[in-house]
Structure 1
Amino acid sequence: MDTHSFTVAIDGPAASGKGTISKAVAAHFGFAHLDTGLLYRAVGRRVLEGVDPLAAAQALTAEELAQGDLRTGEIAQAASKVAVIPEVRAALVDFQRAFARRAGGAVLDGRDIGTVICPRAEVKLFVTASAEVRAERRYLELSSKGADVTRDQVLADVRERDARDAGRSAAPMKPAEDAVMVDTTDLSIDAALDLAKSIINKKLAAQN
């Protein structure tokens, strides 16, 4: 292994807190960060514009990940739908794996990082929370942005997306066998971050 590369794989369902934890961990350790969900959101956005899913995945550029409108509910649902297509997932694997082994360390968050993309990652975390808690977080986030949604509607969307992500034939969402579970249902973000940092610090110390 390249002694300058260190991969942290963080998986989990929507609104579990994995994105917040991933960004904070990357900033703390000076690692690069990739929200792999943005890859599928960018593809989903192109599909909503009428582009073929596989063509969109094969032509994806880093610039498309920086577009500011990828966080809408419509794009999230489109992303979840294209993510079940095996050919789309395969087209995006190389992009993710190259990022993961870059010099200086990398944090990737998604739904199949520890199981498929980076099965040899030095650290694997699976961040989760109850569907009700995650739906409330997402409802507050969407409401604060002016979205016209109800709590029941958001909870239904969360459960539908969970079922699709966990039930797909290609790289279903599930914890890696050696992943550490981080349940944020009753855990503050600071406590979850402290746990993640502790796990990573131990692994880094063991390598040095």
Structure 2
Amino acid sequence: MKENLIIAIDGYSSTGKSSMSKIIAKNLGYTHIDSGAMYRAVTLYAFQHQYIVDNKIDEQALITNLSDIKIEFKQDLTTQKNLTFLNGENVEADIRTMKVSKMVSPISEIPAVRDYCVALQQQMGEKGGIVMDGRDIGTTVFPHADIKIFVTASPEVRAQRRFLEYQQQGKDIPLVEVLKNVNERDYIDSHRTYSPLRKADDAIEVDNSNMNLEETVNKVMEIINSKK
């Protein structure tokens, strides 16, 4: 098998896709690309420019100005973590808020937004040597990816994980609200007409409901090593 693989990791929200993908990319000496952060950045941009008001999206205004959006990933040299930059500004914390989480699925439903982000993802990963996580990496972005993983877990487990993340960040968001958001995002992501979330026919499913991050990483690394 070629050296610079394209590894696609898809799955539901709060399954730990990004966390495991970062570790796996580091283990392999690859670049990690968090495609979900791109959609979150577009959502934040829409809020910043009042294209989202009272949960209603001005799609035409957003589409017209998509070319003004520049998304970059840079590594924090101190923490070694990837940071998301929107038009030159570090927005890593801003894109992880519940406000953005509530609107990122409706924003990502817009075909022009998906086309914009998919083109950027393909450009970033065309040379291989990447681990990219998202919702449609193995089905739309890189349908011929060398290795495809689909990660799932029960909604309750995923909501608990996100709830604990918010608590660690000092955000007091009720668990019931987090679970509601998880279920809503699942439905929207899986039922959208354009590039819905689904397991690719040749993807290997990993249910990490009863696994921690380390165990999940080990499981996925076993799969990757078996394919080399």
* TM-score of the pair, normalised by structure 2: 0.83
Q: Distance in 2 between matches of 1:198 and 1:4?
A: 17
**Is residue 190 of structure 1 aligned with residue 214 of structure 2?**
yes
Match of 1:171 in 2: 195
Question: Residues 6, 200 of structure 1: CA spacing in aligned structure 2 closer, same or farther, 3 A cutoff?
Answer: same
Q: Which runs of 4+ in 1 moved over 4 A?
A: none
**Is residue 53 of structure 1 aligned with residue 52 of structure 2?**
no
1:1-208 correspondence to structure 2 within 5 Å: 3=2, 5-49=4-48, 50-51=50-51, 52-61=61-70, 62=72, 63-64=85-86, 66-68=90-92, 69-102=94-127, 105-204=129-228
Question: Residues 194, 4 of structure 1: CA spacing in aligned structure 2 closer, same or farther, 3 A cutoff?
Answer: closer
Q: Distance in 2 between matches of 1:151 and 1:23?
A: 26
Q: Distance in 1 between matches of 2:156 and 2:65?
A: 33
What amino acid is aligned across from residue 130 of structure 1 in structure 2?
Answer: S
- Of Structure 1 and Structure 2, which has the larger fraction of its residues in helix? 1
109-118 or 56-65, larger mean C-alpha shift: 56-65
How far 1:57 moved relative to its partner?
3.5
How far 1:183 moved relative to its partner?
0.5
Q: Distance in 1 between matches of 2:20 and 2:104?
A: 21
What amino acid is aligned across from residue 85 of structure 1 in structure 2?
Answer: I
How far 1:144 moved relative to its partner?
1.7
- Number of residues paired by the alignment? 202
Percent identical among aligned pairs is 36
Q: Secondary structure at the match of 1:33?
A: strand
How far 1:56 moved relative to its partner?
4.8
4-13 or 163-172, larger mean C-alpha shift: 4-13
Gaps of 5+ in 2: 52-60, 73-84
Gaps of 5+ in 1: none
How far 1:80 moved relative to its partner?
1.3
Provide the alpha-carbon RMSD of the alignment.
1.7
Q: Distance in 2 between matches of 1:40 and 1:9?
A: 17
Q: Is the 8 A contact 1:57 1:91 kept in 2?
A: yes
Q: Is the 8 A contact 1:53 1:82 kept in 2?
A: no
How far 1:106 moved relative to its partner?
0.3
How far 1:101 moved relative to its partner?
2.0
